[in-house]
Amino acid sequence: MLQDNIPNLAGLVEPDRVRKEVYTDPALFQLEMERIHERVWIYCGHESQVKRPGDYATVQIGRQPMILVRGSEGKLNVLYNRCPHRGNMLCGDRHGSTGEFFRCSYHAWTFHHDGKLRNIPMMESGYAGTRLTRDNPDCNVKRAARVESYRGFVFASLAAEGPSLTEFLGPAKIAFDDMCDRAPEGEVEIVPNCFRVIQHSNWKIFLENQLDALHPSVTHQSTGRAAREVELAIEKATGKAPLSYHMLSAFATVTIDKWDNFRTLNYPYGHCILTGYMGLRPQDPDTLDYERVLARAYGEQRKEEILSTDIHHVLLYPGLSVQSPLQQLRAVRPLSVDRTLTEIWHFRLKGAPEPIYRRALAYYNLVNSPSTMINADDLENFWKCQQGLSSDGGDWLSFHRHFGRDSERGGVVETGEGMGTSEAPMRNQMRAWAQCMSKA
Ligand code: FES
Ligand SMILES: [Fe+2]
């Protein structure tokens, strides 16, 4: 058994610290895939990626190559990307249209969009008397055990048992509500395609960084300072700098003590929210125009509620980091114990004026894309963490910041006043990790 190679699974995680093997042991990585990623709800994609019957997008869930495909009756299916004949992947591309049915490129077995066998060439003569009959379920493409979507965001679970998607998301579903509510039409549309980055570090290092409010003004200080200098120079010359400079300069001007003013909310299943946003409700004509459109769609009071939603980041454990006020998300696809793929996607608010999209796109390019220094700052730390953790320089990682000062109400752990840089989100993620890992 895999877990027999892993001594003392229960001793790896303590409430305030974690053993380094959790990030470096390849056997433990395999067990994580089996007990976490291939069991819980994992984000597959957005419904707008597969608009027409036959449209598909391929996606990795844990170690499994999967296909999200729209069926002829509009239904969304998630299938294993594997032909039941000799195991060939049915789709080799990231996305496309399979037409009216899947046709395997190896020996032309064909399948309906829900995975059911459609035809095998010369089946009667070739398979007469064998166990391969048309009604043998082994002839079908295997389906994900469960598929559900919430406000257009499609998730699959490879385990037949478990909480429903909305139960699993709990209050963290606000990530999708906030994103969609900001659209005058109440929904978003994905922008094809995404950036893909392979990080040379364990998948949990990326997730732990997402709500780490302690690091931005340290890690990104040099990038923030450089942007601030240019911003000031433009302001001096023209009286006003473009908003996009603020997106970067905030990393220098929002210092650690200011990050402490935010709060973290930590939910069951490892999800967490970091509140507060560094001021993206300016009073420029574009924003005011958008606010008018939103007020027409929802009424003044609801518009105010929507725009004052206090979120910086929502982490949906174990694979999604959502920045709903800016309509973007990063999906985490673990590749091996020290390799992680992240997909960086962004969305359009349906019915919103174009400049609002441009603003979100600027943030996407300046803060989350592979070409920004912000991303490079983080990636260097992630790689250095992996290197350091693989050394004999110590056995534990520390998550002690503001430990013992959290308050718990109805299963939600909240950081105290002035403790926004708490490591409560990391402790919450590791609590979920330990819970998942302990279930054989
Ligand atoms: S492997 Fe798919 S038809 Fe042979
Ligand atoms: Fe960062």
pLDDT of residue 278: 59
Exposed e or buried b per residue across 37-51, where buried means at least 16 C-beta atoms within 10 angstroms of its C-beta: bbbbbbbbbbbbbbe
pLDDT over 60 (residue 3):
no
Q: Which residues line ligand 1 (CB under 6 A)?
A: 83, 85-86, 88, 104, 106-107, 109
Ligand 2 midpoint to CA 206 (Å): 9
Q: Which is nearest to 348 in space by CA: 60, 67, 49, 78?
A: 49
**Mean pLDDT, residues 220-246:** 91
Atom of ligand 1 nearest to the CA of 120: 3
Atom of ligand 1 nearest to the CA of 107: 3
**pLDDT 10s digits, 89-135:** 999 999 999 999 999 999 999 999 999 999 999 998 999 999 999 88
Distances (CA, A) of 389 to 19, 22, 48, 132: 9, 10, 40, 51
Paired with 274 in beta bridges are: 264, 313
Percent of the chain scoring above 90 in pLDDT: 84
**pLDDT 10s digits, 327-385:** 999 999 999 999 999 999 999 999 999 999 999 999 999 999 999 999 999 999 999 99
Ligand 2 midpoint to CA 211 (Å): 9
* DSSP category for residue 415: P
CA–CA gap between residue 440 and residue 318 (Å, rounded): 18
Q: Are 91 and 81 in contact (CB under 8 A)?
A: yes
CA–CA gap between residue 271 and residue 15 (Å, rounded): 16
Over the chain, what is the mean pLDDT? 94
Confidence of residue 1 (pLDDT cuts 50, 70, 90): very low
**pLDDT 10s digits, 252-300:** 888 888 888 888 999 999 999 998 865 567 888 999 999 999 999 999 9
CA–CA gap between residue 386 and residue 24 (Å, rounded): 8
Neighbouring residues of 300: CB distance < 8 A, sequence distance ≥ 6:
none
**Mean pLDDT, residues 318-326:** 96
Give the residue, out of 101, 102, 106, 119, with the most ligand 1 atoms within 8 A of its beta carbon, to mutate for a pocket test: 106
> Residue 121: nearest ligand to its CA?
1
Atom of ligand 1 nearest to the CA of 109: 3
pLDDT over 50 (residue 164):
yes
Residue with CA at minimum distance from ligand 1 atom 4: 107
Residue with CA at minimum distance from ligand 1 atom 3: 107
Q: What is the DSSP string of 135-165?
A: T-GGGSPPBPSEEEEETTEEEEES-SSS--H
Confidence of residue 411 (pLDDT cuts 50, 70, 90): confident
Atom of ligand 1 nearest to the CA of 90: 2
pLDDT over 90 (residue 395):
yes
